[in-house]
Structure 1
């Protein structure tokens, strides 16, 4: 029940953030005012008659209660400030008439309405409204003291009461107004600073995301560049195959029967088709990998992704490096951007190639490790000492020359792995090669479209 009431109070369609937070309390206050004033008068009138001269107070209280309930209706429509102005105006008008009809001395015993008017105007409507209301209250007090003077039987008695009450009354409300003003100013300045810092943080986060995306794209282009020589060599092989099959047309004339020539021609065209499809697959994979797209999370099988990445890995290594793969037979589904996984594997493979200038072996192995999949990438290169291992994932740290590396590849890999909920570590020794262990969290669902 309480949660339902809270949701109802917060459900007013108010656009301003501060007003939206003030709306629940103000609605409760207005509802209390609209119900409590008539109920209080009903309780008093049930046991005693209305005091002489207080009929005007009864009428004013009932009007104020009605306007309080109408203000709640306005807040529910989204007119928050109009509702508060209407209620404050009703309180001021009620005070003015009461002070005019009954005088200031009769009103000094109950100052709730006066203080409430100051507090609401300051907290909700701001500093300007606070001082305007203070000035109007001073006018109302003056009207009340004039009414006391007109009603006083002896002028000397009125002067004594006024001199005793007026200065302290004005000074008290001046102090209250100043305290409210300073408190409101501090709160609003703090809110403004908080909002400014929040906007700066949002801009900084957006800028970091753009920079990270640009960095990942640059790493993709760098990896694509490293593949270029291998791709060119592979395309030369493909073209040689196509040319070889096309040259067979000259030998078809020596084939005896038409059927044999037709079969030989079909075999040649099939070979051309296979070679062309292989070239198309390589170019399509390179274009898909190097393009700059928004992050596209998907569920896919790591084993299948690594299998389809094999042709690109072969292009990366020279013939002196043997590429091996040991994969788990069970599906290993993960959720991340597939091109980012490919970028991580290719970056580590490129570093392995540079660590094996005389050739060797590069092994990619996958296995299930609890709730994660572990991808181990091992090379037979020169390895790293402990000091290098402590710094390899730091941005711009590299043991290569400025022309050969930027020191960002492994840093990007670490950030991508962390963003996917995983991690990466290295095990290496001088002269014994290196093994990078990439862990990514498994997902429960089966792989979607791969």
Structure 2
């Protein structure tokens, strides 16, 4: 119940950050005035057994006005009009004080200073420095009315005036000191809050810039990987076009019968369709991988995704490099952006290709791994290339670090892979030996659910 009440107090539609922080306290104060002030008067009337005297009836009427304005101010705050609501509440407070001092002098304010201090605090905290000193000036005017009343009631003699004005220095100095302290404190708080808000905005801007730079870097890596695939894709499309042309040329062959000619033509068209579908699939895969879209997190089967990536991997490697993919038959769901997942695999495969100038083998093994923090999907990518030294292995994931010629890479591939893996809640491990090869192990958290895995088996 209490937490719901606090959430209600904080839910006022106020845009200014300072006013939004002050709104809950001011609403609580207004509720106290709107609820407790009527109860206070009801208790007085019951305890005395009669209505207030004529002198106090004016105070009762003023309190009734304050109660009504307190509720009106609450409604205004709930509609986002915070400062006008506070001004509407402070004005009758000062008027009520002026009426009380006009009737009874300054003694009520000296005995109970809360009614005079509270407008100063509210005015300074909520409305700022100008309002604070304005309220101070109005309070001094109200005290002036009270002192004039005391002089009038004392008979106007010099001794009476002296006694009536004995509290003037104390009232002036105390309220001036309180106002000055409030002024400095409130100003410091507002400056501190302003600096905090400015730092927060600067941090948000910096984070947005970094996110845009990261997205551009990932896209550039996609384009680099796409460029590496270009020659293999062109070769594959040339083979597809050769198949289509071969089937198309069969239309010139004459058959002995119309039925056999129709059957041959149907067979040729079927072959053309299969080849065209293969070319279309490669085009869609390449276009989807290279697009510059906002990250789309999804749950997919890592084994199926790697099998679907096999044609692109095959085109990346030369004919003297063998490719083997081994995937466990059970589902291996992971949760991340699929194009980024493909970028990780292609980046590591491209490094493996560059490490096997004299041919070799590249293998991918995908399976589950049980760890202390839960089940993981392990993707092992191994090559039989020249391997890495300890120094190169230690700096392999450093941005812009590369052992390749200046025109052969940016040095950002493995750095991007590490960032993508860690953003997905996983990690990447490396093992390499000179002259034997390198293995990268990508470990990603097993997603709660995912698409069913297709039966898969490794093949060369």
Query: Is TM-score (shorter-chain normalized) higher than 0.5?
Result: yes
Aligned match of 2:428 in 424, 427, 449?
424
Please give the per-residue CA displacement for 1:342-390, whole angstroms capped at 9, x wherever unaligned. Answer: 1111110000000000100000110111211110000000001122111
Please give the per-residue CA displacement for 1:48-90, whole angstroms capped at 9, x wherever unaligned. Answer: 5768954443443343233323323333343322221111101
Deviates more, 1:191-200 or 1:343-352: 191-200
Aligned match of 1:101 in 85, 103, 121?
103
Q: Is the 8 A contact 1:300 1:449 kept in 2?
A: no
Partner of 1:345: 345
Partner of 2:86: 84
Aligned match of 2:141 in 139, 142, 161?
139
Please give the per-residue CA displacement for 1:19-71, whole angstroms capped at 9, x wherever unaligned. Answer: 23322222221222233334334434444576895444344334323332332
Please give the per-residue CA displacement for 1:146-165, whole angstroms capped at 9, x wherever unaligned. Answer: 22222213523333335531
Q: Describe how 1:197-208 pairs up with structure 2 within 5 A.
A: 197-208=199-210
Deviates more, 1:152-161 or 1:369-378: 152-161
* Structure 1 residue 334: Cα displacement: 1.2
Aligned match of 2:213 in 208, 211, 214?
211
Aligned length in residues: 448
Tell me whether 1:368 sits opposite 2:377 in the alignment: no
Partner of 2:438: 434
Q: Is the 8 A contact 1:71 1:86 kept in 2?
A: yes
Aligned match of 2:155 in 153, 171, 182?
153
- Gaps (5+ residues) in structure 2? 455-460
Partner of 1:313: 313
Q: Is the 8 A contact 1:57 1:98 kept in 2?
A: yes
Aligned match of 2:225 in 200, 207, 223?
223
Between the aligned partners of 1:69 and 1:157, the Cα distance in structure 2 is 46
Deviates more, 1:312-321 or 1:8-17: 8-17
Partner of 1:396: 400
Q: TM-score, normalised by structure 2?
A: 0.92
Between the aligned partners of 2:452 and 2:85, the Cα distance in structure 1 is 54
Partner of 1:268: 268
Between the aligned partners of 1:448 and 1:365, the Cα distance in structure 2 is 18
Q: Tell me how large the CA RMSD over aligned residues is.
A: 2.2
Partner of 2:458: none
Between the aligned partners of 1:448 and 1:215, the Cα distance in structure 2 is 33
1:381 and 1:152, CA in 2 relative to 1: closer, same or farther beyond 3 A?
Answer: same
Between the aligned partners of 2:108 and 2:249, the Cα distance in structure 1 is 118
1:241 and 1:175, CA in 2 relative to 1: closer, same or farther beyond 3 A?
Answer: same
Please give the per-residue CA displacement for 1:386-407, whole angstroms capped at 9, x wherever unaligned. Answer: 2211111111111111100111
Partner of 2:2: 2
* Structure 1 residue 169: Cα displacement: 0.9
Please give the per-residue CA displacement for 1:220-243, whole angstroms capped at 9, x wherever unaligned. Answer: 110010011111111222222223
- Higher RCO, 1 or 2 (CA under 8 Å, sep at least 6)? 2
Between the aligned partners of 1:420 and 1:106, the Cα distance in structure 2 is 68
- Gaps (5+ residues) in structure 1? none
Q: TM-score, normalised by structure 1?
A: 0.94
Please give the per-residue CA displacement for 1:89-138, whole angstroms capped at 9, x wherever unaligned. Answer: 01100111112222224532121110011011111111111111011111
